[in-house]
Each structure stands twice: as C-alpha cells, then as structure tokens.
Amino acid sequence: MKKPSLEFHIYILTMCFSMTIIGVVTLTVMLYDVVRMSAPEITLSGEQYDKYQTNQAFWDVCRLDRLCADDGEEMPEEVMLSELRKEWFERVLSSEGHRGMQHFVLMLIALVLEILTGVGHWLLWNYLNRDDDVVAEGEGVKSGDK
C-alpha cells in the first residue's frame, strides 16, 4: 500500500493538537459546571446575588419587576419579607444548580464525541502505519536474501 503523505501526517498532528485544546476547554467548562451544581451561590452573577442579600434590595427589585407588588404598595413586615426573600433565593440557587447540571450533561456528550473522534483517527493512523511496517519488514527480508 502507498505510504501516507506528509500532508496526512500534518493533518493527524493538527487533529491531535486541536483535540487536545478542545479537550482542555471542555474539561474546564465541566469543572465549572460541577462548581455550579455543588455551590450555586458562588456562580450566581453579582447582580443576582446582591438583590437577595437585604430585604430592601429584594423589595426594590420585586417592585420594579412587579413580581411582589404594584407601584405605591407598602413594604410588608420584615419577617414576612425575609421569608419571601429566602424562599426566592432558594429557588434561584436551585435553578442555577439545575442549569449547571444541564450544561454538564451537554459537555459530557461533547467529550464523549471528541473521544470517539480521537479513537477513530488513532485507529486510522495505526492502520496506515501498519502497512508501512509490513512494507519495511518485506524490504528487510529482500535485502537479506541478496
């Protein structure tokens, strides 16, 4: 069989380099998703986190978004507002963890596909190099016969 060309060798090395970079990026994103699932309060944006830290900040955002009350409505008692704020904060944390899990699964699928592509290229490389080894062994036998 014909020996693989220089272009093919360059292609294989480029694929190896590209897959290494993609693998590192994928694993980094997956690590971030693990943090997002296990400690969602760390990965919330500053804006999201801040609006649940005080009753006043929570009330202001609620009123502006018209989620809790209409304009001009009085602020409820501190105890009731604290309970509502904590309940909504738990929902936001749960949602952040869920989004982290979804993204982790997506990245896991991407990693599996990358591994399968890498194995395919590795098998192709071995197949083409096996033919080179057979040709090299055949040439050694012929030169020994002379």
The DSSP code sequence of 56-110 is: HHHHHHHHHHTSS--TTPPP--HHHHHHHHHHHHHHHHHHHHHHHHHHHHHHHHH
CB neighbour class for 82 (10 Å; exposed up to 12, middle 13-18, buried from 19): middle
- Residue 60: predicted pLDDT: 82
More confident position, 144 or 36: 36
The pLDDT, as a whole number, for residue 130 is: 75
How high is the pLDDT of residue 146? 46
What's residue 104's pLDDT?
A: 97
Tell me which amino acid residue 56 is: Q
Domain boundaries defined on the chain: 8-140
Instruction: Encode pLDDT of 9-56 as tens digits.
Output: 888 889 889 999 999 999 999 999 999 999 999 999 888 888 888 888
pLDDT in the model for residue 8: 80
Cα–Cα distance, 19 to 2 (Å, whole number)? 27
Confidence at residue 109, expressed as pLDDT on a 0 to 100 scale: 97
- List pLDDT tens digits, range 47-103: 888 888 888 888 888 776 666 666 666 777 889 889 988 999 999 999 999 999 999
Number of neighbouring beta carbons within 10 Å of residue 7: 8
